[in-house]
Structure 1
Amino acid sequence: MSSTPVLRVLPLGGLGEIGKNMTVVEYDDHIVVVDVGLRFPTAEMVGIDLVLPDFNYLRDRVDDIEAIVITHGHEDHLGALPWMLRELGADNAPPIYGGPLTMAMARSKLDEHKLGKLVECHDVKPGEVLEVGPFDLELVHLTHSIPDMRAVALTTDLGTVLITGDYKFDQTPVDGKPADVQRLAELGKRGVLLLCGDSTNADRPGFSPSESVAGPHLTEVFSRCDGRIVVTCFASNIHRVQQVVDAAKANGRKVCLIGRSMKKNINIGRSLGHIHVPEGMLVQPREIDDFPDEKIVIVSTGSQGEPLSALRRMAYRDHHQIELHDGDTVVFSATPIPGNERAVNDTVDRLYQIGCSVVTTADAPIHASGHGYQEEIKLMLNLTKPTYVMPFHGDHKRIKLHGELAQAVGVPAENVFRGRNGLPLEIDEQGARFGEPEKSGVIFVDGVDLGEPADAALRDRRMLSADGIFVVVATISEQDGTSVADPEVIFRGVPFKDEADELLDELRDVVDDSLEKAAKDQVREIDLLQQQLHDDLAAFVFRKLRRRPMVLPVVVEV
């Protein structure tokens, strides 16, 4: 039996997927939560706005949570924070820690949800060590595509767990602040028990290009454009927006920011000194028509084809401020997140239909990934020299490749743990092993409500979107259950054959036959009658149309 408690690292999101990163680190019945991210819905999640990690494991452990630590301000690490606090109870929320930009973005989100006055967000300097229950918490500066990226080092009596968050080893970052390699090496020399590292680009050989290389190429692309330029990138990619501003200035153009999140994040970045815009360079959307096309650059959200984003609405001519036209050039300064390719391609095609020119990363090196390639993953492993490795942040292919990279630099195969969401890694003095799985999964945000993926509403939406709906109203006698009026048949979204009238007559016959059979069998309960009608109608419709629309029978007694 161990003389010290077990250290548990439980990923609730980010393993086997790109997005909704969330990890529970537990020691001696005390918890630190690292990142509370979200991801955006896929096409089959009809009407769903956001996808969150399942918070169920923490519901009964709220009093055990000592802190929430956010590595950086991207949505897949920060975006679910207000939802989690609302679900678990913001009145007794634990303190939240992160870099100044990250915490400014967190406060903004919490204010939107009217939680700002209930929750404390603390700026933490790199190298500052905080006592958080049985943990010593330290944030280590790393480089990414957003300022104030921090790795999280949690030290207990057993050793140090290092969760890297998203990182790359950029030697020439836009803000001139490279990763703190020295501190990583010091942690490695002291001994890192477990490394939980970013796997996003574990399939790319070599080193990632520096973020700073995108700037000159943006300037060159701008110089070749005669009309308006629309640049789309992540709203939180403040370094990229800075480079767009610099490229616009070099080409004598004004800049207009479009999209609520874009404006909000850039204002936060400017207030903290992360982005510098010359006086008089920004113009409002209503002022765009006051300038010639060749003097305007529009910076917009929508690089991932998000349904409600500014660029998507522009592409579908549904934006109330910007109307794209022939001669505009749209520059995609981002690559599609795996799973978003279809939505991005659809947006691009609509832009071509309007008459726009489109420039993507396939045409010019106008984007640099914020995630390190294979050699950088090896560098992280060699610097920190972990005893155990648990690859994070990637689909199962990339997690497997990250594990192979760890073995290539000398980590024994038995010390590499390729996990999944809900599977805790448990470490004590005897070693490390996977524990019993905990409940994990996803929660959907639909408007302002949260729901489970098995929610009947989502199943109904899928069915309606695929095959439509039949509503059948049958009127029966209260005395003997026989039909006393022709049934009404209403349908929407059903792919009918040409002989629609004939099919409707047949449907009415099926209703009459079903009711006649029920009356003969002395079935009187409305629920049973509706179930029998449903089964008979659904079987008939499938035979005739080879479709399974939603069938809603309504029985009225008179």
Structure 2
Amino acid sequence: MIPLGGLEEVGRNMTVFEYENDIVILDMGLQFPEEDMPGIDYIIPNIAYLKGKERNIKAVIFSHGHLDHIGAAPILLEKLGHPPIVGRPLTVAMIKHRQEDYKPNTAKSLKVIMVKNIKDKFKFGAFRVSFFPIDHSIMDAVGILIQTPTATVIHPGDWTLEKNSLGQPLLNYSFLAQMKRPTVLMLESLGAIDVRTSATTEEMQKNIHKIVSEAPGRVIIGTFSSQIERIGWIISLAEELKKKVALDGYSMKMNIGIAQELGYIKAAKGTLIKIEDIDKYPDNKTIVIATGAQGEGNAVLSRIISGSHRYVKIKKADTVVLSSSIIPGNERTIQKLKDGLYRQCDNVIHGNIMDIHVSGHGNRQDIAYMLKQIKPDYFIPVYAYHYMLKESAKLAQTLGFLEKNIFILDNGRVAEFDKNGGRITDQKVPADYVFVDGLGIGDISHVVLRDRQMMAEDGMIVVIATIDTKKGKLVQNPDLISRGFIHMKENKKLVEETRMEAKKIFKDNLKGEVDENYFKDRIRNEIGKFLYQKTQRRPMVLPVIIQV
């Protein structure tokens, strides 16, 4: 058992299960870049361990259609020779669309094994795979059972516990305690530190119904494009209230289009309108459902707030609803989003003041419920930051689980199970970040990223020295170009001092062949040191030497 991602971050979820010469893989997710990763589009798992084992891969199973579970699929499936993929209809449809975005007309290369019924069972080499129902924030999400000759893995994927009005879970997982022993529960533990009581779908729908029905003007709802069931319910609500719905955002339109094709969402003719037609209807008869509730720079909601959206401008009478939770790491951008909304609109509603969102992730109490119901022999918390995994492990111990049977793994760390039991081994496979930047996959190293960080923090300065090799001296004083470091017109004294400092480097006779590397190193070191003394900043120094 080898996690290639998802155990030290939120995202990049991918786990390899290997028995002798047979391999099955669970999920191929991406991770969105952090603030200190300028220019990076997203991050994918490192599959170096699987090189040379492509023929052993019997199947890649996808638990659901969120990008942190399917986002890397087009790239990784191609690199692994397109092994069969297994998933529910919506999940497979979303993978196909992502494949087409990656390389048009290539979705036909996917070898699909459709899970038509939750009771379907498959045999992939030594692995017997079946499924069980779970609650999550996207339709067609499933839990996975992987039975091997030595252990049974129970993996709910991403999950939550939907409850009734009495606070009782709608799904019972006690049947999983009857699986063939030993059982290994790999449980997503993102909510291990969340002690709040989760809202129910019934409460959320009641609140959104009240907001939409009483809104004096337009209603603008920001949510995840993957919240297909919720969006479908809002469309039905709009029909009930005789309102029109405009969807905006590429992923929003794509996901709802897929759901309509599969029959998961049915909208009466005329309910859905184009965003460019929104002004043709009275404000109190329109609902906009848009992406961007996480404050993403180019997403619809951010463009509406900045005034750059072509068709929607915020009005004081609008009601803006942020129906989503905060993804860890996005706290700052969401705070800016809220500030921008409150400056322009008098009716902003979010999860801090009303239950208008149901999380797709179980909280601490829910994790305890799952552990009590499933009663696994081994517990491996997954899909969260390390401290969350630790908290989940501590919770399990309070419930009577033995510490030696709780495994907290790092990405790449190998866990083994045989007739003698389970253990964490000393073996670790490559699991470092693989950066995707434009069309480049893995060609951005940590050195390149460090250079970008340096330029983002302190800028850069180019020192250009032109040498007349016949006369053995500089043609003129070195030229300087500053980007992101200083404004040269406002810092003429520093610019001139830097030129003179650079000129000193070339005071010796320069006739004949010039060792450019020697002078470039001196420029980098001496000008870098000089500028730090003058400014307490460390811009990237780029030397350029021209010989004439």
Residue identity matched to 2:162: D
For structure 2, the 5+ residue unaligned runs are none
CA pair 207-66 structure 1, distance change in 2 beyond 3 A: farther
Contact kept, 8 Å, 1:36 with 1:78, in 2: the verdict is yes
Residue identity matched to 1:159: A
Contact kept, 8 Å, 1:476 with 1:483, in 2: the verdict is yes
Give the distance between the partners of 2:175 and 2:260, measured in 1 at CA.
28
Contact kept, 8 Å, 1:259 with 1:301, in 2: the verdict is yes
CA pair 451-356 structure 1, distance change in 2 beyond 3 A: farther
Give the distance between the partners of 1:328 and 1:192, measured in 2 at CA.
56
What are the equivalent positions in structure 2 for 1:71-470 lying under 5 Å apart?
A: 71-88=63-80, 92-114=81-103, 115-124=106-115, 125-171=117-163, 179=171, 181=173, 183-187=175-179, 190-205=180-195, 208-355=198-345, 357-435=347-425, 436-451=427-442, 454-470=445-461
Contact kept, 8 Å, 1:333 with 1:361, in 2: the verdict is yes
Alpha-carbon displacement from aligned partner over 1:286-337 (angstroms, at most 9, x marks no partner):
2101011111110011121222222122222233343333332221101111
Higher mean C-alpha displacement, 396-405 vs 283-292: 396-405
| Structure 1: 4+ residue segments shifted above 6 A | none
How far residue 150 of structure 1 moved from its aligned partner, in angstroms, is 0.9
Contact kept, 8 Å, 2:434 with 2:442, in 1: the verdict is yes
1:4 paired residue number = none
Residue identity matched to 2:410: R
Give the distance between the partners of 2:403 and 2:521, measured in 1 at CA.
57
* Aligned-pair Cα RMSD in Å: 2.3
CA pair 210-540 structure 1, distance change in 2 beyond 3 A: same
3-state secondary structure, aligned to 1:391:
strand
Residue identity matched to 1:217: N
Give the distance between the partners of 2:509 and 2:350, measured in 1 at CA.
63
Identity percentage of aligned residues: 34
Give the distance between the partners of 2:7 and 2:326, measured in 1 at CA.
19
Contact kept, 8 Å, 2:477 with 2:500, in 1: the verdict is no
Task: Please give the TM-score of this superposition, normalised by the length of structure 1.
Answer: 0.91
Alpha-carbon displacement from aligned partner over 1:534-558 (angstroms, at most 9, x marks no partner):
2221111111111111111111112
Task: Please give the TM-score of this superposition, normalised by the length of structure 2.
Answer: 0.93
Give the distance between the partners of 1:59 and 1:314, measured in 2 at CA.
46
CA pair 96-312 structure 1, distance change in 2 beyond 3 A: same
How far residue 63 of structure 1 moved from its aligned partner, in angstroms, is 1.7
Contact kept, 8 Å, 1:214 with 1:243, in 2: the verdict is no
2:529 paired residue number = 539
Give the distance between the partners of 1:499 and 1:131, measured in 2 at CA.
71
CA pair 471-155 structure 1, distance change in 2 beyond 3 A: same
Residue identity matched to 1:416: I
Contact kept, 8 Å, 2:153 with 2:185, in 1: the verdict is yes
Contact kept, 8 Å, 2:150 with 2:182, in 1: the verdict is no
Contact kept, 8 Å, 2:135 with 2:141, in 1: the verdict is yes
Give the distance between the partners of 2:160 and 2:350, measured in 1 at CA.
22
1:62 paired residue number = 54
2:12 paired residue number = 20
Higher mean C-alpha displacement, 408-417 vs 26-35: 408-417
CA pair 454-156 structure 1, distance change in 2 beyond 3 A: same
Alpha-carbon displacement from aligned partner over 1:203-235 (angstroms, at most 9, x marks no partner):
234763333321111111223422221111111
Give the distance between the partners of 2:266 and 2:159, measured in 1 at CA.
24
Alpha-carbon displacement from aligned partner over 1:389-435 (angstroms, at most 9, x marks no partner):
11111112221122123223332111011111111111111222112
Higher mean C-alpha displacement, 369-378 vs 547-556: 369-378
Contact kept, 8 Å, 2:17 with 2:25, in 1: the verdict is yes
3-state secondary structure, aligned to 1:24:
strand
Higher mean C-alpha displacement, 285-294 vs 406-415: 406-415
Contact kept, 8 Å, 2:44 with 2:436, in 1: the verdict is yes
Contact kept, 8 Å, 1:145 with 1:370, in 2: the verdict is yes
